[in-house]
Structure 1
Amino acid sequence: MAVKYKEIADALEQEIRSGKYDAARKLPTEEELITQFGVSRNTVRRAVNQLVNRGYIYQVQGSGMFLRDKSATDYINLGSLRGLTKDLSPDRIHTEVLDLHTMEAGSETAGRLNCEAGTMLYYIKRLRLVDEEPFSIEISCFNKNIVPYLNKDIASSSIYSYLIDDLKLSIGFADKVITSDQIGVVNAGLLQVKALDPALIVENTVCLTNGTVFEYSQSIFHYKKAKLLNRISFK
């Protein structure tokens, strides 16, 4: 079941992205949000902290919650788990599903997913295009015990929307590792670069709120097009 404060944070994020608060550059007060969503003060504060961590707002004690400047655009937010569909306009993104099949976890993949070797997985390889140009290759492995069903239609859009809205998974946190490497021949062809050109690689290990790992993924970005952003609040 989805966590309530995350649902509120998602709703407020959508309102921020739609421009609802652009004129005031400020969110409603804590009391107004409590009334709007019919939840406790603690739930509202946890939702607000989510928006702070996602880089949308900052708080000034005694004054309120203000929208952060939109100076950084066309970037991939490292603080988000939803990837391109949350960071860029949906009409700019096209997804080609290159491969989707079930497989048994080998020893290395099982180690990544913290599961037994031989556990059934979904393997998905996708090419993501932005403005009709190759942008990234995403290779994902999902534990089939937690994600029991995936198909090409789901993989062609936002997998995470499906996981949250349809499967009702409560997604908690992720470890991200960023590296660089030379790209191989096959993936170079997909991204329309030269073999052995540099590539930016982001590895994700994603867990439910109870700490169970359900996905390991690797995103290989076109080195000329990828811009990554990590907004940090000093505490």
Structure 2
Amino acid sequence: MLEKNSHIPIYIQIEEIIKQRIYLEEYRIGETIPSERELSAQFNVSRMTVRQSITNLVNSGLLYREKGRGTYVANPKLEQPLKGLTSFTEDMRARGMEPSSKVLRFEKIIPPVDIARDLMIEPGEEVFFVVRIRNADSQPMAIERTYIPVKIYPELDEKQIMGSLYALIEAKFHQKIGNAVQQMEAAIVSKEDSKFLQINQTAPVLIIKRTSYLSDGKPFELVRSTYRADRYKFISEIKR
């Protein structure tokens, strides 16, 4: 239990106890933990101290709050190493999870000038614009907005992009994928995306812009993905 004379602050000790209870499955994923009132009585501390501990665990993604219902144990974040080029579908299957997609939009459009430039197409050339919600075990993980040059894949249809675009390109079109360039930034979710991702309108998200290239250096896809920050984290190994 708590060591009141320790140099470690009480709220941090409480955090560690809650973490241990989650690890030992005393508090199970998807279930509520005791209320602030119950925990403050259990630890014989103020509710303010307990609230600080819980807030830190919420911010770290270990717990999440639902207004009027309580505080729940969150699913562990999925770790995405920043090495190797894989699709969302391939990544989820490698984790033993079942990927799925819901297509919200599939249409031909004239892209903005910056998108056309990144895809190395002439201004005014058409692209397929695809908006998909990407799920893992039926839970929304990300929303993708993808631009694909029509001239490269003129026969592409909505049914084909329900799964992995990378697998489609390699298996159906017999093209070799080379590399991709990614940019990543943190942001607050938009009102529209918060509904699709089933998160609070003030929730943080990770936004990744990826331009993918065939082995001959020709860009075939530009995708802007918005990931739930409470369910995803990216890991990079850096060597000197």
Query: TM-score normalised by the shorter chain: which range applies?
Result: 0.5 to 0.7
Deviates more, 1:215-224 or 1:144-153: 144-153
Matched, 1:144 2:141: no
Unaligned runs of 5+ in 1: 1-72
Give yes or no for the alignment of 1:76 onto 2:111.
no
CA distance in 2, matches of 1:231, 1:148: 39
Q: Which has the larger radius of gyration?
A: 2
Q: Alpha-carbon deviation of 1:169?
A: 1.6
Aligned pairs (5 A) from 1:99-110: 99-110=105-116
Shift in Å, 1:95: 0.9
Give the aligned CA root-mean-square deviation in angstroms.
Answer: 2.0
In structure 1, distance between residues paired with 2:204 and 2:155: 35
Which stretches of structure 1, 4 residues or more, deviate above 3 A after TM superposition? 229-232
Contact 2:90 2:164 in 1 (8 A): no
The one-character-per-residue Cα deviations of 1:72-109 (angstroms, maximum 9, x if unpaired) are x9433432333222222275212111111111223121
TM-score if structure 2 supplies the norm length? 0.62
Counterpart for residue 87 of structure 1: 91
Q: Structure 1 residues 197 and 74, CA, compared in 2 at 3 Å: closer, same or farther?
A: closer
Go from structure 1 to structure 2 and tell me whether the alpha carbon gap of 1:144 and 1:109 turns closer, same or farther (over 3 Å shift): same
Q: Which consecutive unaligned segments of at least 5 residues does structure 2 have? A: 1-76
Instruction: Quote how far apart the aligned CAs of 1:145 are.
Output: 1.5
- 1:167-201 deviation line (CA, Å, top 9, x unaligned): 11221111111111111111010011122321101
Indicate if the aligned counterparts of 2:87 and 2:165 stay in contact, CA closer than 8 A. no
> Could you say which residue in structure 1 is the equivalent of 2:176?
170
> Partners of 1:150 and 1:78 in 2: how far apart?
29
Is structure 2 residue 227 aligned with structure 1 residue 221? yes
Alignment CA distance shift 1:149-1:206 (3 Å) = same
Deviation string 1:33-79 (CA, Å, 9 cap, x unpaired) is xxxxxxxxxxxxxxxxxxxxxxxxxxxxxxxxxxxxxxxx9433432
Letter paired with 1:217:
V
Instruction: Report the residue type matching 2:220 in the other structure.
Output: F
Distance 2:131 2:79 in 1: 22
What is the alpha-carbon distance in structure 2 between the residues aligned to residue 77 and residue 201 of structure 1? 16
- What's 2:141 paired with? 135
Number of residues paired by the alignment? 162
Quick one: which amino acid aligns to residue 97 of structure 1? V
Instruction: Give the TM-score normalised by structure 1.
Output: 0.63
Identity %: 23
Residue equivalent to 1:202? 208
